[in-house]
Structure 1
Amino acid sequence: EASRNHRNGLTMSGLPLADGPSATGSSLGSYGNNTVSNSKLVDNARYGVEVIGGTNIGVNANDLQGNDMGVVVRGGAEDVSVVGNRVTEPIRQGIAIRDGVTKSVITGNIVSGGNTSVYLRDSAATVQRNTLSDADSHAISLVGSVSETKVTENTISGRGPSAIDTKRAADVNMHRWKNDEGNWHDTTPFVVTLKRFLQPLTAMWLFLAALLIFTAARGARRIRRVVHPYADKSPVTDGRTLSAGSVPVSNENHLGAR
């Protein structure tokens, strides 16, 4: 158990002892094959667990309460598993994978509270089957180069601008992602949503659709009257037959008769 430390509850560094030739001939290779599990890390001022570099690292089945961030993996670590941890009420991020981490797996974790449940930046990870709740910004944020990252089968709830934030990701591939976001409440202001929707091309298509609807509605109001094609050739009379006695005789006819 590690609690109320001024910095991290626990730090594991697998970085090489030297990054080039040294006077003591220190090793240039990374270290690894380490695991922290079944530990309790509470209210530490920085991170509950920090992993810096190394290979084949496990952070499994730990209880992390409070802390600025729960689990942070960085520094080009490789083949890292963050599995089955419970992260409660971090101040900022529950689990953060960043700065060149590869072949990492984040699965079976329960993260509640905080600003962002899972944060990935310029790294590759499989984020799968986690329960993420009560974040007030994003459940998952992807930033930078994350082309090999996969996010699927997570149960997400909370409220904020978006459940899965990919706006800052340069090459995200969301093909075949499937997550349960039914209990996420989008708090994006209406004006922001409208600006996002009304892109130039979208506005043009909306204008054309409105013009088409207006033209169709105006044309429907004009009821065309059906006119007989030979209406101008019809008799002057209204069709009733007049008798000879009923035809008026002009004065000229009377004078001619005399």
Structure 2
Amino acid sequence: MKPVPRISTRGYYDLSNGTTLKNNSYYTYPKKDFKKLIGSREFTIMIHGLRNDNSGAVAKVVLAKKQLRKLGYVYPVIGYSYDSNTTGAHLIKHAKHALAVGQKIAKKNGRNLGKFIEDFKLSSPKTKIRLMGHSLGSQVILSTLEYLEKKKENHGIVEAVYFFGASINEDVPASKKYGKIFQSVVNSKIVNHYAPTDEVLRWANHEKYVKGPLGLNGSVGKPVKKYRQKLVMPKNHRFASYAQVLNSFP
């Protein structure tokens, strides 16, 4: 099987506490696939959620690519693989700590993915980059946009953002700080696929692990112009279920 092209920061952060272990920005694999992206019209980066090891990250890209092809999207879909398989994430008694560590690592990855986008756009300024994030992947995207917004030349550097079962807060799209970031860094749109039936987000909200997840009931307040949302009915919280109910892209 051909390897799935991905940007990775695996091993850069401590899975038990989120401490930074390596200050490298990222690495890409296989290198030749990334060379081929230079000068291309566009591509999409898929960012997985919590409890995904490297093979889990690869599986999410394969799923995304399959569904996007079905919807007529012909451009490359690549992965972003980060340390989200935090210690104890699969055990209820450790869930809160594992999620907190996951969130810490996801926030730190904003710099890593942001750096990749800046570097890539230097070599291929006309290529459009779309970001898809599932669950905790939404936090990676939010922190990436926050990192990119610090430089004026990054205005509109990301073509569009797509959230699925997002674990970031519901007030983000209407907040003064993030609303400004969305408007400035994202060129065309931010699309949030939310599901009031999502059992994991409902549990996280009930346990107050994530207060008011954006992926559960959508946005509160008056979101910025570039933001839109779609009510979806996935079978469960897994990305496979969200991919199945996705009916249009980009």
The structure whose residues are more often strand, as a share, is 1
Normalising by structure 2, what TM-score?
0.34
Higher-Rg member (1/2): 1
Normalising by structure 1, what TM-score?
0.33
Name the structure, 1 or 2, with higher relative contact order (CA <8 Å, separation 6+). 2
